[in-house]
Amino acid sequence: MLALRIAVLLGLLAVGSVVPGFCLLRRLRWRPLELLCGSIGLSLILIYLVSFGIYAAGLPPTANLALSVLNLVLLVATRRDWARMVRSPAVRRPLLLFGCLLIWALLALSLVRHYAGGGWGGDWLEHFQRTLVFAHGLPPNTPIVPGYTLPARPPLMNAVAAHFLAQVGDDFELFSISFLFLNLSAVLGCALLLKSLARRGGRGIWVLGALLACNPLLIQSLTYTWTKLLAAFYALLGLALYLAGWRRSDPGRTVSAFGALAAGMLVHFSIAPYALVVLGHYTLRQLRERPVRWPELARAGGVAVALLATWFGFATAQFGVEGTVTANTTVIASRHLSQAGASNLAKMILNLFDTVVPHPLRTDLRLDFISQASAAGYVRDYLFLCWQTNLILAMGTIGGLAVLYLLIRALPDARGPSRWSRQRRFWLGLAALSACIGVIVVGEREPTGVAHVTLQPLVLLGVSLLAASFAALPAALRWTILAACLVDFGLGVFLHHHLQNAENRAGGQPDLFRPVVEVSPPGNRYTLEVHSDLSRTAAANWLMKHRHRLVQDLARTLERSEPAALAGAGASVRALARRLELEDERQWAGWYRRHGGRLSFLGDRLERWSWQLRLAWLALLVAALAVLARAAVGRGAPRRAARSEGLPG
């Protein structure tokens, strides 16, 4: 039954993510891949408006079904236009790449049975609850774990996922697949920018796929249920449309670019630095290169403001201006830092340094929070904090250094007057400014770096530049990148998901996660903790997954046989069980009651086939490495042309 619902969900995602926007954009004279990506961006905006409108108006969630029926009708009505677009190789290859990476990422997700890695925890459950708020029409003042309110994060991706879950069911497995599919759209944004990053850059589409498949940051962001990659898609789409509008003096593309950036901010506020850089460049270009086009400026500003107002207007009406602004996670973290007597300026400078310099190069950093008995777990967490939080290593162990090499080579060519030189200056300025602003706006002090918070679009741009310019690199560097991809996948992707597949097993085997109830008289207070050979973060995430079930089982056990010494603790456990039941009804729409108090992952459902899934994944790895090997030996673009390609010049 779950397999059928997954199939229906993937069908609804495939149709709903393209068709509504395509019907409105298909007459535009955009390049085919621009049209595809624009259709995806607009379709998700339309779904958000419908889903959020249903929620705000208090309509039953089943009203979402009407939009899916309409999408099927529109798909049939526009089938010839759709077939014409798909026949273009410029669209067919990225779509095939999307399909291959979808299978790749689903294999990774099929191994996940608990979340771990570094100190990450809680976001996966928070976004699930936010999605249930929209899917079941819970009140806006519903408390969100771990103590947030609804305005703490923007709602677009949660509302879009709620639209699909309202039709196929609200199982966590379906939620995780919907988030993976939506986040994977960032790959199409990378493909769209290949030609803007390098002459003949579109030839690097399969190299891009191989590099992304082995990239720990991308795969983690696909299988961990948060919203960063969909926000990155809108950032990349906005950049691509802005550059195209600049080159062609096309107001339509320029207006659409600002609309895409505004939509990205409704997915995650981390897109704000990129929107600010584009706005600054647009303003300078208006003042220096041409007369101010007031209609274009008014339309661009109007679209962005109108889109942002759908959320901020609602949030302000529900929570007031102060409640909306101060609920933001960055504001909360900065306020806590100030209350602790720390300097926000010092935090910004230190975060910037730590995001560029990998933590293994700093002897003053203590990583006590990843200490654990498992040697494999410690290696995973230690390297996790390299690939996920450092800007350079996030592009790949050697890939990041290769990107720096390409950027340094581009510096002399950016001084010329040509169109390519202007674009080089734009990309170099974007990289420097967005990196600085992106680090500055982070509220927390993160000693290992903050690349995972706001710099994911920049990381994807770097990987795209590397793929577009791969043929222009020295042969030795190309082969070194291939070897490094094997290391990135083995230690950053495969080992990580192999460990996330670990769970307690039946049959008398020792438990990896061991719940412990400690009673401390007088008062018979108790604490429920989880001991594990893995890190404290892994144990905490496992407890989040099993907490309701553990408390229910413990309450039943104490009811059957309760020693006198534990009488007070038994009463406390029963009180907690009743409180969780009430919390479930008010904050989760009875989700735990309807699912037997059990939160299961896709990896739990496929546990018996876990080794077959690993073997299939490794077989696909061979194909990905073969693509890189073919590019490394120089097959494809002629070397003479490759020397003049791309950002390096």
Q: What is the pLDDT of residue 529?
A: 86
pLDDT given for residue 42 in this prediction:
98
Return the pLDDT at 310: 96
Are 462 and 372 contained in the same domain?
yes
Instruction: Answer yes or no: do 624 and 589 share one domain.
Output: no
523 and 487 both lie in a single domain: no
Which H or E element spans position 191?
A: helix 185-197
**Residue 469 and residue 589 in one domain:** no
Nearest-CA neighbor of 625 among 497, 470, 486?
A: 486
| Domain around 552 | 513-600
Instruction: Encode pLDDT of 466-522 as tens digits.
Output: 999 999 899 999 999 999 999 999 999 999 999 999 998 766 567 889 888 776 665
327 and 396 share one domain:
yes
Both tokens of 545, joined, read 């997954």
Name, in order, each residue with C-beta under 8 angstroms of 472's C-beta and a sequence gap of 6 or more: 198, 642, 643, 645, 646, 648
Q: What is the pLDDT of residues 348-403, one digit of tens each?
A: 899 999 999 999 998 888 898 999 999 999 999 999 999 999 999 999 999 999 99
Query: Locate tokens 């043929």: which residue?
Result: 471
- Whether 474 maps to a domain, the answer reads yes
Q: Which helix (H) or strand (E) holds 529?
A: strand 525-532
Q: Are strands 513-520 and 525-532 parallel, antiparallel or unpaired?
A: antiparallel
* 488 and 423 in a common domain: yes
* Domain count across the chain: 2
SS (H, E, C) 453-484: HHCHHHHHHHHHHHHHCHHHCCHHHHHHHHHH
One domain for residues 390 and 448: yes
Tell me, yes or no, whether 481 and 404 share the same domain: yes
Tell me the average pLDDT of the chain. Answer: 89
Note whether residue 607 is domain-resident: no
On whether both 414 and 451 belong to a single domain, the answer is yes
Over residues 628-649, the pLDDT tens digits come to: 999 988 754 444 444 434 454 3
Q: Collect all residues with Cβ–Cβ distance below 8 Å to 511 and sequence separation of at least 6.
A: 504, 505
540 with 483, same domain: the answer is no
| 596 and 630 inside one domain | no
Domain presence at residue 189: yes
Overall average pLDDT of the 269-276 stretch: 94
- pLDDT at res. 525: 63
Token digits of residue 480: 């070194």
Q: Residue 562 and residue 555: Cα distance in Å, rounded? A: 10
